[in-house]
Amino acid sequence: MAQPVTTDRIVIVGAGMGALYAALKLAPRPVLVISPETLGEGASSAWAQGGVAAAMDTADSPLKHAEDTVRAGAGTVDAKVAEHVTHDARDYILDLTDLGTPFDRDAEGHYMLSREAAHSMARVVRVQGDQAGRQIMETLIAQVRRAPSVQVMEGVMASGLETDGGVVTGIWVQTASEARSLPVLIRGAAYLLAGGGSGGLYALTTNPPRIRGQVIGMAARAGAVIADAEFVQFHPTAMDIGEDPAPLATEALRGEGATLINKQGERFMRGLHPDMELAPRDIVARAIFAQTRAGNRPMLDTRGALGTEVLTRFPAVAQACARAGIDPVKEPIPVAAAAHYHMGGIDTAIDGRASLGNLWVCGEASSTGLHGANRLASNGLLEALVFARSCANGIAETLGDVVPRACPEVSIAFQPGGVAPDPAAVARLRREMTDHVGVVRNAAGLKAALRVIAGLEAEQANCPGFLNMTATATLIAAGALMREESRGGHFRDDFPEARPDMAHRSRLTLKQALALRDKVMKETV
């Protein structure tokens, strides 16, 4: 076993928007950012097509934004968190603008705003139609590259946490390539997890390939409390063109008037919800899923609403269509419901702290109470920014006024011999999650999934990366089995109605989830 590496740097796991924004806000404190890929590659933030929700219009207000957030969350949003996040949303847009983000403006310089599902008005600030995530990330990356206080270690991923008495004392890391190295322990001044969600645990997902619940899983394995694990958001309009991950047909297309039709040309959202295509995402996702299951081939039709403008205003969609040989000007785009965003994650207080000492969390790996059972569109990037700053402030306050001025960069000589997850086991896990812990769930399917997860885990017991995946998968399935109702993104066809007595958040440790899994394993199939 290699000797631990000790540094005065704050160790940040992840390289998305939350991680980079926190690194900048921590300056001049020395920071080490652990990134599995080159900055800008493989982070969910860079793939975000929507934008950042903020009350920028004079007719809008943070209070209205908070009310929409609470309404969309199906009874489990923490109203105080919603008010906290929306209150200063405008300031984050202005800050990103000052950093160089080229948000879309009109001829008079006003921010151009789009409306997305479950928002009462247009308040989503965008960049080049569907390029918000990529452009904001490029802006932050440029700033981080220039920041003397930030060291970025690329091609390296975290695989576990070291704890002592409920306090995090180190992070295990190894090379991110298929030829994994042996893990090395880094002991830093403080620890921030900002490494993404868990959409890639599903066979059909819009998430980057590496986002498979590893960060949530490593925290859970260390004893952290996980909140709202069962609430996974399935995006209604992933492009069903045979790609993994599935390209996203941004919700802004429906905001611009694009409609959902099936192979018979029927607008199947009529009669299902007053807002039709702009109904909350869980309702639209289930409608898409039902059409798919019935063999009706759901499609997104942009022809009447956008015509040729779809090619210039939504370049990511146009490029994906071109790869698939689809001309969206002349034909509708096949779509399917795909795992998109995990409302659940590491239980995170309003100051960004996790239940383990010396550990902070921001971004999709966290569960702050903002999203409830059904995330309001384009609140994800806003939450990452708000909690990145909260985490940075909390870490700075905890460490005190003394800032190390001369902090050498961390250098690690990795040794071969590590274990990478078996691709066949990962594929089986993803298929099981889609089949039994997906858009529609029931007790029989969830129990079947828990059995398969346990079997795969036993086969891969010497691979920390895979154990992090199965930990998160177990928590999602166990949380879904325990919640005997339907609410937001969690739908049980054996309990199709919401129960008023369950209109609250859930909290679960991996120990509790494993106890339930063990109980299921002992049942007669």
Instruction: Give me the active site residues, please.
Output: 281
Hey, what are 127's tokens?
């960049």
List 156's β-bridge partners, or say none. 175
Bond into 28 cis (ω within 30): yes
Quote the CA–CA distance of 93 and 276 in Å, as a whole number.
30
Concatenating the DSSP letter of every residue in 463-504 gives -HHHHHHHHHHHHHHHHHHH--S-BTTB-BTTB-S--GGG-S
Quote the CA–CA distance of 183 and 37 in Å, as a whole number.
17
Sheet holding 259-261, edge to edge: 232-239, 333-342, 299-301, 259-261
Could you tell me the CA-to-CA distances from 491 to 98, 271, 440, 488, 502 in Å, in that order?
42, 20, 5, 7, 14
String of b and e for 49-79 (b: at least 16 CB within 10 Å)? bbbbbbbbeeebebebbbbbbbbbbbbbbbe
For the chain, the first-to-last Cα distance in angstroms comes to 43
How many CB atoms neighbour CB 98 within 10 A?
9
Hey, what are 467's tokens?
């154990």
